[in-house]
Amino acid sequence: MLHLGSIGGTSIDVDFTFIILVVFFTVTSYDAQLGWAYALLWPPVLFLSVLIHELAHAATIGIFGHGSSHIVLGGMGGMTINERRARPWQDMLISAAGPISSFALAFFMLWLYRNVAYVHQDKMLEAFVPHMYSANLWWGIFNLFPITPLDGGRALRNLLRIFLKENTAFVIAVWIAIVFGAAVAIFALFRQAYMLAAIIGWFTFNNFQQWEDYRHKGFPND
């Protein structure tokens, strides 16, 4: 684990798995015609995109008075750790803050590309800005999928918790995740998007395991 420092009391660490993710994107993006310079745009794009996404979670947690957090960049992106006892509506907004920040960053990049002439005068910026736009647009959409551990899955469950009992909210949320996840995984396979199929398939399996645990052991504190 590499410690990068802290922002507003929130500590930021980078796990080795995040470095693997960055290397994977960089290597698989290499194009012989464009050269390594194009592929090497991915490290700053991934780092900034994931960090800003997680900082949005941490900032929202702080706004609601739950103190500072611990951000870890790793695995499939990042996570924001905070031992809080938040209300369901607060947790819903905390989850939604990540995708909202990704969309905001994406459309800021689009605005820059369309309205700032200097972007087109600098070759690096002219390549970097569209990368940031597309990465954050798709990162926001991906995180809105109603499947835990993605933000969309967490937001959905907390939305249901506002109106329903904890057990009922869990059952509805987990079955939406299973059905939606299975559909997306199958669609991705037909489109030969094997990485997406594997990731969503794994998340769907984990949700099914949660359902099996609930069915056999009941909800915690039952």
φ/ψ of residue 200, rounded to 5: -65, -35
pLDDT grade, residue 220 (50/70/90)? low
Each residue's pLDDT tens digit, 135-158: 999 999 999 999 999 999 999 999
CB 53 within 8 A of CB 132: no
**Partners of 12 in beta bridges:** 5, 71
- 22 vs 159, more confident: 159
pLDDT for 218 beyond 90:
no
H/E/C letters for each residue in the chain? CEEEEEECCEEEEECHHHHHHHHHHHHHCCECCCEHHHHCCHHHHHHHHHHHHHHHHHHHHHHCCCCCCEEEEECCEEEEECCCCCCHHHHHHHHHHHHHHHHHHHHHHHHHHHHCHHHHHCHHHHHHHHHHHHHHHHHHHHHCCCCCCCHHHHHHHHHHHHHCCHHHHHHHHHHHHHHHHHHHHHHHHHCCCHHHHHHHHHHHHHHHHHHHHHHHHCCCCC
Rounded to two decimals, what is the model's pTM?
A: 0.90
Query: In angstroms, rounded to a whole number, what is the distance separating the alpha carbons of residues 117 and 82?
Result: 41
Query: In angstroms, rounded to a whole number, what is the distance separating the alpha carbons of residues 210 and 216?
Result: 10
Residue 169: its pLDDT value, please?
A: 94
- 2 vs 181, more confident: 181
pLDDT grade, residue 222 (50/70/90)? very low
Mean pLDDT, the chain, whole residue set = 90
Dihedral sign (CA 122, 126, 129, 131): negative
pLDDT for 221 beyond 80:
no
Q: What is the mean pLDDT of residues 103-126?
A: 92
Q: What percent of the chain is modeled with pLDDT above 70? A: 98
Each residue's pLDDT tens digit, 10-57: 999 999 998 888 888 888 877 777 677 788 888 999 999 999 999 999
Q: Which two tokens stand for residue 147?
A: 């499947």
Each residue's pLDDT tens digit, 161-187: 999 999 999 999 999 999 999 999 999
Residue 219: its pLDDT value, please?
A: 62
Residue 172: its pLDDT value, please?
A: 95
Residue 33: its pLDDT value, please?
A: 72
